[in-house]
Amino acid sequence: MDKLKAIQPIKKGLSGEILIPGDKSVSHRSVMFSGLCDREVKITNFLHAADCMSTVNCMRALGVSVKELDENTLIVKGNGLDGLKEPAGIIDAGNSGTTLRLMMGILSGQKFLTTFTGDASLSRRPMGRVINPLSQMGANIVGRQNNKYLPITVIPTKENLHGISYKMPMASAQVKSAILLAGMNADDETTVTEPYTSRDHTERMLTGFGVKLKKSGTSITISRVNKMTPPAEIHVPGDISSAAFWLVAASIIEGSDVILKDVGINETRTGIIDVLKDMGADIQLLNVRDEVEPLADIRVRYAKLHGTTFGADIMPRLIDEIPIIAVAAMFAEGTTKITGAGELRVKETDRLQVITDEFNKVCPCIEGLEDGMVITGGQKDNLKFARCNSHDDHRIAMALAILGAAGVGVEIENSECVNISYPTFYEILTHFE
């Protein structure tokens, strides 16, 4: 039985500095791409959390050496671009959509068989969105319910993959990445076009490994890759999706003035900063610097927020932040309307449904829409202590914790799932009084 977590209200606000752990998306990719090279790559500030460990275990099962120098420092040594080996058993992708979808792209051109499983949540998530375009490239991937769900097997094909030009029905970095990674093994050019630009970590990191990509608007083109030349070291920036919980907590808890250290500010990820600023938040970027990914320290102070409206065009830039933005909206004066968020229905949970069901237990102020929600704000004095359920969704658990900390406290059932992306989250939260 998972632990019930009691969260106390924070009275004095957030202060000092919070060191933000490594970015989950960049951590996954750093291990995958390094594992396709034939020399050692050192990865620093790697996110040691359950999702990224699913990727580490997957790469190990495929014959890649991954040594852990300490919790956040890895040495990855692969056997070259054609050096992955057939795994001896079934690979468990756990809770991680990124692991499963990107690995399908990498494995679809390999000459061996791989079978994946995952947890109950991942087994409900749609995989046809990756299997369909990869099949058009000549991959042979089968899954439950007519190739839609886990368990999934990637079957070797006799023919090489061929390039396609694919217009994606949704903005998704996982789908885009899977197609580009398969495209590295295809005989001719592969082009993928998104309705809106999603996070571009794959494109940036592949470029850092010497892979040539052409970008035009929201289209990316890749050709067969014969060799990857890794940097000696990859430093993973702090995860803005983890920083998001403190950005909102400090914005809504009076007396807060805190600095979030070493946060990745790649513009395909900073939608949360734009939306919070639009709501009146006091956020300053300090010490901005540019590595493979841009980084900054972020100062955030309590401010009186007001409601806002946003939709599909900004959604890929804040897709994982909707639960915590909903919390900000509950404290903001006026109404917040979010549309174009239908993708939230196919995350670890149906996040639109879970936000409406669980946050309304604390204060019934959220009306669900088919592709979003309307939140009536100004609820600070109307919150009641409730027992809520994360439904085993890490981002819901953390958003509920901030809702409780900024209000009158909360109890969270299935609270341990924060280990998926932010194992030290509760420890940091309880530093503040």
Ligand X SMILES: C=C(OP(=O)(O)O)C(=O)O
Ligand Y SMILES: O=C(O)C1=C[C@@H](OP(=O)(O)O)[C@@H](O)[C@H](O)C1
> What percent of the residues of the chain are helix, what percent strand, and what percent coil, each to the nearest 5?
35, 25, 40
301 known ligand binder: no
**Interacting residues with ligand X between 354 and 413 (CB under 6 A):** 395
Residue 221 sits in the site that holds ligand X (CB under 6 A): no
Residue 107 near residue 153 (C-beta atoms within 8 A): no
Residue 57 near residue 30 (C-beta atoms within 8 A): no
24 known ligand binder: yes
- Residue corresponding to tokens 């979030």: 260
Residue 256 interacting entry, from ligand Y, ligand X, none, C-beta within 5 to 8 Å by type? none
In whole angstroms, how close is the CB of 400 to ligand X at the nearest point? Answer: 15
Residue 29 sits in the site that holds ligand X (CB under 6 A): no
Residue 346 near residue 393 (C-beta atoms within 8 A): no
Residue 297 sits in the site that holds ligand Y (CB under 6 A): no
- ω into 126 cis (within 30 of 0): no
Residue 45 sits in the site that holds ligand Y (CB under 6 A): no
25 known ligand binder: yes
Q: Is 320 a catalytic residue?
A: yes
**Which of the residues 320, 350, 381, 393 is marked catalytic?**
320
- Residue corresponding to tokens 């990745």: 264
- CB closer to ligand Y out of 51 and 92: 51
Residue 173 sits in the site that holds ligand Y (CB under 6 A): yes
174: left (phi over 0), alpha (psi -120 to 50) or beta: alpha
* Alpha-carbon gap, residue 66 to 28, rounded angstroms: 13
Site string for ligand Y, 325-364 (x = CB under 6 A): ------------------x---------------------
Residue 421 sits in the site that holds ligand X (CB under 6 A): yes
Residue 25 sits in the site that holds ligand Y (CB under 6 A): yes
Q: Identify the CA nearest to 166 among candidates 193, 146, 148.
A: 193
* Alpha-carbon gap, residue 354 to 345, rounded angstroms: 9
148 known ligand binder: no
| Site size for ligand X (CB under 6 A) | 9
In the chain, the amino acid numbered 340 is G
Which DSSP state fits 49?
Answer: S
Query: Interface with ligand Y by CB under 6 A: which residues?
Result: 25, 97-98, 172-174, 177, 198-199, 319-320, 343
Catalytic machinery residues: 320
Query: Interface with ligand X by CB under 6 A: which residues?
Result: 51, 96-98, 320, 347-348, 395, 421
